[in-house]
Amino acid sequence: MKLGLYSITYLGLWYRGEALPLPAMITRAKQYGYDGIEIDGKRPHGNPLDWPTPRCRELRSIADGEGIDIFAVAANNDFSNPVPEVREAQICCVRDLIRMTADLGAPTLRVFLAWWGVTRHPQLASYDIAKRLWTVVHEPFPPEEIWSWCREALVECARYAEDAGVTLALQNHRPVIHDHQDMLRMVREVDSPSLKACLDAPLMPDRSTDAIYQAARDVGPLQALSHFGGEFERLPDGAIRGFDVFDGKVRGDTNQYYGDFVRAMQVIGYGGYMSYELCHNLPVVDGQTVDIGYAHQQAQLAAEFMRDLIASADSRDPLSASPTTFGTTFGSPA
Interval 229-244 mean pLDDT: 93
321 pLDDT exceeds 70? no
109 phi and psi, to 5 degrees? -120, 115
80 pLDDT exceeds 90? yes
Altogether, the residues listed in the chain come to a count of 334
251 pLDDT exceeds 70? no
- Quick check: helix, strand or coil at residue 195? strand
Interval 147-165 mean pLDDT: 98
Distance in angstroms (rounded) separating the CA atoms of residues 80 and 82:
6
Diameter over CA atoms, the chain = 56
How far, CA to CA in Å, does 194 sit from each of 107, 149, 215? 11, 19, 21
- The domains found in the chain, sorted by start residue, are 2-325 (3.20.20.150)
Q: What kind and span of H or E run contains 282?
A: none
248 pLDDT exceeds 80? no
pLDDT at residue 315 in the model: 59
Q: What kind and span of H or E run contains 77?
A: none
- Quick check: helix, strand or coil at residue 326? coil
Name 140's bridge partners. none
Mean pLDDT of the chain: 92
16 pLDDT exceeds 50? yes
User: Predicted confidence band at 330 (pLDDT cuts at 50, 70, 90)?
Assistant: very low
pLDDT at residue 249 in the model: 64
Instruction: Identify which of 67, 109, 114, 106 has the alpha carbon closest to the alpha carbon of residue 87.
Output: 114
Neighbours of 62 (CB within 10 A): 15
Contacts of 144 (CB under 8 A, 6+ apart): none
322 pLDDT exceeds 60? no
How far, CA to CA in Å, does 270 sit from each of 151, 263, 275, 290? 26, 10, 14, 35
Interval 190-203 mean pLDDT: 98
- 159 burial (CB, 10 Å; 0-12 / 13-18 / 19+) is middle
Interval 103-118 mean pLDDT: 98
319 pLDDT exceeds 60? no
Share of the chain above pLDDT 90, in %: 85
pLDDT digits (tens, 9 = 90+) for 115-140: 999 998 766 789 999 999 999 999 99
Give the start-end residues of each E strand in the chain: 2-6, 36-40, 69-74, 108-111, 119-121, 124-126, 167-171, 195-198, 226-228, 231-234, 240-246, 249-253, 273-276, 284-285, 288-289
Q: List the end-to-end C-alpha distance of the chain, in Å, as a whole number.
A: 24
pLDDT at residue 334 in the model: 26
110 pLDDT exceeds 90? yes
333 pLDDT exceeds 50? no
